[in-house]
Amino acid sequence: MKGYEPCHNAQEVIERIGYDSERDVENPTGSVFCANGVGFLVSWDEVKNYMHLESYFQKKDDDEDLTAHRILHSKEKAISLEEIDEIMNKTFYANQGRKSVWKKQKAAGEKYYRPVNYTKRQEETKEEYLLVDGYNIIYAWPELKELAEENLDSARMKLLDLLSNYQWIRRCHVIVVFDAYRVEGHQEEIIDYYNIHMVYTREAQTADQYIEKFAHENKKNYNITVATSDGLQQMIVRGEGCTLFSARELKAELEDANKRLRQEYHQIHRIDRNYLVDALSSKAKQHMEDIIEDINKEEKDK
Predicted confidence (pLDDT) per residue in 123-153, tens digit = 568 999 999 999 999 999 999 999 999 999 9
Q: 3-state class of 31 per DSSP? A: strand
Q: Which amino acid is at 263?
A: Q
Domains held by the chain: number? 1
What confidence category does residue 12 fall into, taking pLDDT thresholds of 50, 70 and 90?
confident
In a domain, 48, yes or no: no
The pTM assigned to this predicted structure is 0.53
Which of 66-70, 126-130, 221-225, 293-297 has the lowest average pLDDT?
66-70
Residue 238 lies in a domain: yes
Predicted local distance difference test score (pLDDT) of residue 125: 84
∠266-267-273 over CA atoms, to 5°?
A: 90
Domain presence at residue 21: no
| Residue 77 domain-assigned (yes or no) | no
d(CA 25, CA 238): 12
Q: Phi first, then psi: what are they for 196, rounded to 5°?
A: -125, 175
pLDDT, mean of residues 203-215:
93
Give the mean model confidence (pLDDT) for residues 284-289.
75
As a three-state string, the secondary structure of 102-115 is CCCCEECCCCCCCC
Task: Output 40 or 294, whichever has higher pLDDT.
Answer: 294
Mean pLDDT (the chain) is 76
Other beta carbons less than 10 A from residue 208's beta carbon: 21
Better-predicted residue by pLDDT, 102 or 24: 24
Any domain includes 87 = no
Instruction: Encode pLDDT of 21-34 as tens digits.
Output: 777 767 777 777 77
- Terminal Cα-to-Cα distance of the chain (whole angstroms): 66
What pLDDT sits at residue 133?
A: 97
Judge whether residue 83 has pLDDT over 80. no
Among 4-18, 86-100, 133-147, 278-292, top mean pLDDT goes to 133-147
Angle among Cα 77, 80, 85 to the nearest 5 degrees reads 115
Q: Is residue 258 part of a domain?
A: yes
Task: Give the integer Cα–Cα distance in Å for 188 and 205.
Answer: 9
Note whether residue 101 is domain-resident: no
Q: What is the pLDDT of residues 104-123, one digit of tens each?
A: 444 444 444 455 455 555 55
Q: Give me the domain span that covers residue 244.
A: 34-43+127-302
Higher pLDDT, 156 or 278: 156
The pLDDT of residue 85 = 62
For residue 65, tell me if it sits in a domain. no
Q: What is the CATH number of the domain that holds 203?
A: 3.40.50
Does the pLDDT of residue 94 top 90, yes or no? Answer: no
Largest Cα separation within the chain, whole Å, is: 83
SS3 track for 158-194: HHHHHHHHHHHHHCCEEEEEECCCCCCCCCCEEEEEC
More confident residue, 103 or 210: 210
| pLDDT at residue 75 is higher than 50 | no
